[in-house]
C-alpha cells in the first residue's frame, strides 16, 4: 500500500512539473476585444479617407481659381481661405518682393483693416526670410522661441510656431507665404506638407494675376498713346 501511495505521489509531482515546463498558450481574443480592434482600425481608415477627400476638394477649388479672372487681392483672399481649411493657423501673410532685398506685405488673413499701411521687411534682418527667399527653401519652426536664428517679425505679432513657404513658378520667386500660430507645436509634419502642396497652385495663381494686371496696364497705356497720336494728327 505504501508503494502504491509513493508511486501515485511521484506521478502527481511529475505531472505538476510537466505543467510548469510546458509553454502556456495565449488565450484567444474574445469577441469584444476583436470587435474593439476592428472598430479602431475602421475609424483610422475612415479618418484617412476623410482627410484625403478634404485635401482633394481644397486642391480642386484652388485649381478653379486659376481659371477665373480675379484681381490680385481677390486671388490672395481666396487662396488664404483655402489654406486655412487645411492648416489651423492664427494668421497667414503673403509677402511680395521689392528691389533692394525687401519684402512688403501684400495680404493678411485675418485682415487688420480695410486700408492697412504698407509694411516692408528687410530680408537681411531675418534669417528665416533669407532661407525662404534667397535659398528658396521651405522652413518649419515648431517652436520659434527656441530657434537660435529666430528674429521677431513685428507685423506677425506673437509667434509660437511658423511655416515659411516660397511661392515659386519655374525658377522665379513670386512671393512668400508665412503661416503662423501663437502656440508652439501647432503645426505637424502633415501641415507642413499640405502647406507646401497648396503653395504650388497658389504661386501659379499669383503669377497669372500679375500677368493680367500687367496686361491691363499695357492696354491702358497703349490706348492712351493711340489717343494722343490721333489728337496730334487732327491738329
pLDDT digits (tens, 9 = 90+) for 166-200: 999 888 888 999 999 999 999 999 899 989 988 88
Q: Which helix (H) or strand (E) holds 140?
A: strand 139-141
Query: Is the pLDDT confidence value at 115 over 50?
Result: yes
Burial 166-193 (b: 16+ CB within 10 A, else e): bbbeeeebbbbbbbbbeebebbeeebbe
83 within 8 A of 195, measured Cβ to Cβ? yes
Cell 501659379, residue? 204
Output 66 or 180, whichever has higher pLDDT: 180
What was the pLDDT predicted at 13? Answer: 46
The number of CA neighbours under 13 Å toward the Cβ of 141 is 28
Cα distances from 189 to residues 87, 98, 160, in angstroms, run 11, 31, 16
Query: Is the pLDDT confidence value at 230 over 80?
Result: no
Query: Is the pLDDT confidence value at 5 over 50?
Result: no
Share of the chain above pLDDT 70, in %: 61
Q: What residues contact residue 109 under an 8 Å CB cut-off, 6+ apart?
A: 77, 80, 81, 84, 91, 92, 93
- Alpha-carbon gap, residue 111 to 92, rounded angstroms: 9
- Mind listing the domains of the chain with CATH numbers? 40-218 (3.30.450.40)
Burial 133-163 (b: 16+ CB within 10 A, else e): beeeebbbbbebeebeebeebebbeebbbbb
Rounded mean pLDDT of 75-99? Answer: 89
What was the pLDDT predicted at 61? Answer: 66
- pLDDT band for 53, please (50, 70, 90 cuts): low
Amino acid at each position: 500500500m505504501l508503494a502504491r501511495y509513493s508511486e501515485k505521489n511521484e506521478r502527481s509531482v511529475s505531472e505538476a512539473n510537466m505543467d510548469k515546463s510546458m509553454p502556456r498558450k495565449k488565450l484567444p481574443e474574445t469577441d469584444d476585444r476583436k470587435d474593439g480592434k476592428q472598430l479602431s482600425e475602421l475609424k483610422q481608415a475612415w479618418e484617412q479617407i476623410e482627410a484625403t477627400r478634404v485635401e482633394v476638394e481644397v486642391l480642386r477649388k484652388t485649381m478653379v481659381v486659376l481659371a477665373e479672372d480675379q484681381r490680385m487681392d481677390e486671388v490672395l483672399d481666396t487662396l488664404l481661405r483655402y489654406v486655412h481649411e487645411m492648416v489651423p493657423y492664427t494668421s497667414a501673410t503673403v509677402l511680395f518682393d521689392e528691389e533692394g532685398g525687401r519684402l512688403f506685405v501684400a495680404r493678411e488673413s485675418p485682415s487688420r483693416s480695410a486700408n492697412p499701411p504698407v509694411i516692408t521687411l528687410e530680408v537681411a534682418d531675418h534669417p528665416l526670410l533669407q532661407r525662404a527667399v534667397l535659398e528658396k527653401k521651405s522652413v518649419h519652426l515648431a517652436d520659434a522661441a527656441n530657434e537660435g536664428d529666430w528674429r521677431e517679425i513685428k507685423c506677425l505679432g506673437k509667434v509660437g510656431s511658423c511655416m515659411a513657404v516660397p511661392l515659386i513658378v519655374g525658377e522665379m520667386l513670386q512671393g512668400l507665404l508665412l503661416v503662423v500660430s501663437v502656440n508652439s507645436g501647432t503645426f505637424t509634419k502633415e501641415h507642413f506638407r499640405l502647406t507646401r502642396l497648396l503653395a504650388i497652385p497658389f504661386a501659379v495663381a499669383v503669377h497669372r494675376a500679375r500677368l493680367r494686371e500687367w496686361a491691363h496696364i499695357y492696354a491702358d497705356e497703349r490706348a492712351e498713346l493711340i489717343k494722343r497720336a490721333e489728337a496730334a494728327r487732327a491738329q
